[in-house]
Structure 1
Amino acid sequence: MKVVPSPLTRWLVAGAALLLSNVAAARAGLPDFTDLVEQTSPAVVNISTVQKVEGKKILPHGWKLPELPDDSPLNDFFRRFFDDEGGGGAPEHDARSLGSGFIISEDGYLLTNHHVIDGADEVIVRLSDRRELKADVVGSDPRSDIALLKVDADHLPVVKIGNSDKLKRGEWVLAIGSPFGFDHSVTAGIISATGRSLPSENYVPFIQTDVAINPGNSGGPLFDMDGEVIGINSQIYSRTGGYMGLSFSIPIEMAMEVADQLKKSGKVSRGWLGVLIQDVTRELAESFGMERPYGALVSKVLPDSPAEAAGFKVGDVIIEFDGREVERSGALPPMVGRAKVGSDVPVVVIRNGKRTTLKVNLGELPEEEEMAAAGGGKAKTSADRIGLVVSDPTADQRNEMELGDEKGVLVQSVEEGPAAHAGIRPGDLIQRINNVAVEDAGQFAKLVAELPDDKSLPVLVLRKGSPLFLALKIGKE
């Protein structure tokens, strides 16, 4: 007897077939990383460092050694283990840390992050074949967080160098590294954004991804689907210390430029314009006669700088640098930094509502100490949390404000945010925040990053010579 399926049965069978077909198609559309991992893993290395740490006095601060008779056998014990003058304290020990890296030449040159090897007395590179080789630090650059290492070996596997300029949001990428010491761990994700500027890093246009990166991944490669390195995994955004979906990588072009300079001279030279800048808000754009907010607003022209010689003025809005559009203020420092020192560069600004082109001869970016003396090198922005740009006051500013030995950071600009709501103004000297004395701009940035949410915090400012407490409150994001 022939069974004829009902219309409902035929519809269910057809639906099931369509669903299975769609699942198969979806699976077929997902990337397969197996060949890529097999081809690239041999050139990825584990990096371990050893740093000699001097013993510290064990006796708590403010405590004194007990007064004992001269012939007491405990005198030698306390002097040996608790007294600085007696050389006491915990014995010297080794502090160890882990990171990742990758080989860029067959004769043993490797790239990693500066913070992976910073302060290390010994750097050991473990290859994929489990060989362990001592590495020499050829050079290291804190501003870009790049370090170039060299091991004594030949015919090593190397990575292919790609091009991060061609990256598009949504593109698949893959990372290989040693998170928490687990060698050659593979994680994958997509490009979230390019050209990201971070508050603590002025000269790197970071690649943002959602690739899982954790401690130990630092310095490892970020690959595209062609198996080419397009970035160096460097930072994560986290409130817990672990991965939270936001990872940042240094573009490989910048890393290779830095490596080339480190190899040739052991240091990195960057272009220098000599201005303090900030973003253009909607209200500021309207006041400058601009149709929309974009560009980098010059809030200060540093004395004896290339910008001063070229005729830059406070209030200029830089919209183009060497033919490249400046959409936000954070995009300008990497452009200037990568430009050749001594070159003549056209810069387009909006001044009094009109476009003006200035020709500037770029200088070499001074060391941070020299920049701080000029009033612009150690400016730190914490706009993502409280909306401030601050700097260490210069000698002239300290004299003008009659600061004497008083410390603090000078408010350069205030953006919309908790600081503005608290009443903090440009020109204020912030001396204490959350009951902690402010020493300098670097320490201030760390203090701000650690401030609790949803709690009123006291801020002591010096305004026109008079101290003033303000209440700062950071809302939960």
Structure 2
Amino acid sequence: MQDVSIYGRALAISALSVCLGLVGCGGDSAEPGGQPFDAEVQATSDEPVEPIVQGLPDFTELVKQVSPAVVNISAMPPKPAAGGPPPGNNSHRQPDAGELGEWLKRFFREHPPGSNMPQRPAPEDHVSLGSGFIISSDGYILTNRHVTAGAGQIVVKLNDRRQLVAKLVGSDADSDIAVLKVDAKNLPTVQIGQPDDLSVGSWVVAIGSPFGFETSVTAGIVSAKNRNLADNRYVSFLQTDVAINPGNSGGPLFNLAGQVVGINSQIYSETGGYQGVSFAIPIDAAMNAARQLRDHGEVVRGWLGVQIQDVNRQLAQSFDLNRPVGALVTQIMADSPAAGSDLKVGDIVLSFEGYDVDSAADLPPLVGRVLPGESAKLTVLRDGKKKSIQLKIEALPATFTASGRAQAPADAGGDFGLTLAPLDKQARHTLGIDQQGVRIQRLTDGPASAAGLQQGDVILSVGSRPVARPAEVFQALNNADDSVALLVLRDGVRRYIALSLGKPETETPQ
């Protein structure tokens, strides 16, 4: 496991891997109802105000029913043959409560709250504690990949105190999912719920082994849904305020019906400890990965074959959108599912298989969970009108290639603050593109530089019109309204940039 910077980052939460600290908070609250601070507040009625929320939930029965299916996981790194038992020997065991207590005492004695985090222990000293839950009565268990990564032996402790050596069936780095198998029958199992049925504000319950304290229960609410993190392209997380700490990794997140809706996976922290921002992998995405790992030993994801970007306010105006929403298609890759469909560059994907696409980050997880060979329906905005497109999804290729830059002679457009040059055949070959375009040779102060265009950018189209000569670019800009979207190639990546022309309004003589 690599060391992770913890400042302002989402952290994987394997036990013994982050520093602990105690943080207090408080402060005066604002006056309710918009009253001035020193205003006299008078009762408007003698009748008691009916609360919106009636009471707080009692989780007692829920915990009693679901906790037997929650397990503690101890993952041990391989031991060298000399001086110790070989990997896989049953002498590798989970530390008991006394050993763990001694470790915690030593940790806080040597590293009191507020001190620097110690370096990660050497592999032979490291014990990674995590959680998991049983998804089938014949012994399949779901947890996080980072709990078991690099383990020489995995020991699962059941709720009835049995300790069983587990086999790693498979794991997937992109979803941070691992599937384990223990040799046992008639085990208690969890019920699988629907994360889509959760609402922001819904109560949720976590059960796990933070710091090795088994079957610890914490509760909170769903803070947000479809949260996208930079390091997890194919997972849209549930964000909660449930107290999640090292050792909760891989443990279940339950709804009030006692169904698993997520796998507790990460926290966001600037101190290394819990700060009220926790992330769970939605259980539908996790189960999709788990089934593939069980049946095929790997996870295959769907592939659309497009490059996309977010729609900002300027681009929304250029494409006649009421608000910035959707994923803007900037490139369609050759020999891809998109290339064989009616999808076009400049389309804005608004929904995929009935799910709204609010931003570019929403699309990859939706496409990724469609199995290769299955059909998918997209709703796009094109020329101000919605259009439905049906296509067949293919398997995500292992690698993609990028291309380089180009060179060229020039044509100036002073009103827009840029000098342009056409792309010859050699320049297109250097860039790795088979379509024509116009390269930005030089920029001066003006609308182009203000929009973020850069020297070396290649303009491929103005609005929906492809361009091959500088004159075509300037003609399109002169004919455009206040704002126009340019499709630009930069460092091998295509993106739309909104160019605000700031043309004065034409007045009619009175």
Q: TM-score, normalization: structure 2?
A: 0.60
Alignment pair present for 1:31 and 2:62: no
Q: Deviations over 1:84-111 (max 9, x none)?
A: xxxxxx9983532111000111111100
Does the residue aligned with 1:211 lie in a helix, a strand or coil? coil
After superposition, the Cα gap between the structure-2 partners of 1:374 and 1:261, relative to the gap in structure 1 and judged at 3 Å, is farther
Alignment pair present for 1:45 and 2:71: yes
Alignment pair present for 1:213 and 2:244: yes
Percent identical among aligned pairs is 54
Counterpart in 2 of 1:295?
Answer: 326
Alignment pair present for 1:156 and 2:161: no
Q: Offset at 1:36?
A: 1.5
Counterpart in 2 of 1:238?
Answer: 269
Alignment pair present for 1:137 and 2:168: yes
Does the residue aligned with 1:52 lie in a helix, a strand or coil? coil
**RMSD of aligned alpha carbons:** 3.5
Residues 111 and 149, structure 1, Cα contact 8 Å, conserved in 2: yes
Using the alignment, how far apart are the partners of 1:266 and 1:295 within structure 2?
34
Q: Offset at 1:350?
A: 2.1
- Give the counterpart of 2:377 among 346, 361, 369: 346
Higher helix share: 1
Alignment pair present for 1:315 and 2:346: yes
Given residue 240 of structure 1, which amino acid in structure 2 is its aligned partner? T
After superposition, the Cα gap between the structure-2 partners of 1:34 and 1:323, relative to the gap in structure 1 and judged at 3 Å, is closer
- Give the counterpart of 2:255 among 224, 242, 258: 224
Using the alignment, how far apart are the partners of 1:426 and 1:32 within structure 2?
63
Using the alignment, how far apart are the partners of 2:158 and 2:373 within structure 1?
41
Counterpart in 1 of 2:149?
Answer: 118
Counterpart in 1 of 2:386?
Answer: 355
Counterpart in 2 of 1:327?
Answer: 358
Q: Offset at 1:333?
A: 1.3
After superposition, the Cα gap between the structure-2 partners of 1:426 and 1:194, relative to the gap in structure 1 and judged at 3 Å, is farther
After superposition, the Cα gap between the structure-2 partners of 1:290 and 1:400, relative to the gap in structure 1 and judged at 3 Å, is same
Counterpart in 2 of 1:107?
Answer: 138
- Give the counterpart of 1:264 among 268, 292, 295: 295
User: Aligned residues, how many?
Assistant: 337
Counterpart in 1 of 2:97?
Answer: none
Using the alignment, how far apart are the partners of 1:98 and 1:37 within structure 2?
21
Using the alignment, how far apart are the partners of 1:93 and 1:177 within structure 2?
25
Q: Offset at 1:148?
A: 0.9
Counterpart in 1 of 2:306?
Answer: 275
Q: Deviations over 1:126-154 (max 9, x none)?
A: 11222211100111111111111100111
Q: Deviations over 1:175-209 (max 9, x none)?
A: 01111222111111011122222221121221111
- Give the counterpart of 2:210 among 179, 182, 197: 179
Task: Give runs of aligned pairs for residues 380-459 of structure 1, distance below 5 A.
Answer: 400=430
Q: Offset at 1:400?
A: 3.8
Using the alignment, how far apart are the partners of 2:384 and 2:456 within structure 1?
27
Residues 78 and 153, structure 2, Cα contact 8 Å, conserved in 1: no
Gaps in structure 2 of 5+ consecutive residues: 1-42, 81-120, 404-425, 433-448, 458-489, 492-510
Using the alignment, how far apart are the partners of 1:425 and 1:113 within structure 2?
43
Q: Offset at 1:234?
A: 0.9
Residues 103 and 111, structure 1, Cα contact 8 Å, conserved in 2: yes
Residues 77 and 123, structure 2, Cα contact 8 Å, conserved in 1: no
Q: TM-score, normalization: structure 1?
A: 0.64
Q: Deviations over 1:390-420 (max 9, x none)?
A: xxxxxx99x9489xxxxxxxxxxxxxxxxx9
Does the residue aligned with 1:173 lie in a helix, a strand or coil? strand
Residues 302 and 372, structure 2, Cα contact 8 Å, conserved in 1: yes
Q: 247-256 or 296-305: which moved more?
A: 296-305
After superposition, the Cα gap between the structure-2 partners of 1:32 and 1:155, relative to the gap in structure 1 and judged at 3 Å, is same
Q: Offset at 1:304?
A: 2.4
Residues 110 and 148, structure 1, Cα contact 8 Å, conserved in 2: yes
Given residue 304 of structure 2, which amino acid in structure 1 is its aligned partner? L
Alignment pair present for 1:200 and 2:226: no
Given residue 107 of structure 1, which amino acid in structure 2 is its aligned partner? D
Counterpart in 2 of 1:96?
Answer: 127
Residues 303 and 374, structure 1, Cα contact 8 Å, conserved in 2: no
Q: Offset at 1:226?
A: 1.6
Does the residue aligned with 2:179 lie in a helix, a strand or coil? strand
Q: Offset at 1:426?
A: 9.8
Using the alignment, how far apart are the partners of 1:232 and 1:155 within structure 2?
23
Q: Offset at 1:264?
A: 1.1
Residues 52 and 95, structure 1, Cα contact 8 Å, conserved in 2: no
Q: Offset at 1:168?
A: 1.2
| Bigger RCO (CA 8 Å, 6+ sep) | 2
Q: Offset at 1:217?
A: 0.6
Using the alignment, how far apart are the partners of 1:48 and 1:198 within structure 2?
27
After superposition, the Cα gap between the structure-2 partners of 1:347 and 1:237, relative to the gap in structure 1 and judged at 3 Å, is same
Q: Offset at 1:360?
A: 2.1
Gaps in structure 1 of 5+ consecutive residues: 1-14, 55-89, 376-395, 403-419, 429-462, 465-477
Using the alignment, how far apart are the partners of 1:241 and 1:305 within structure 2?
42
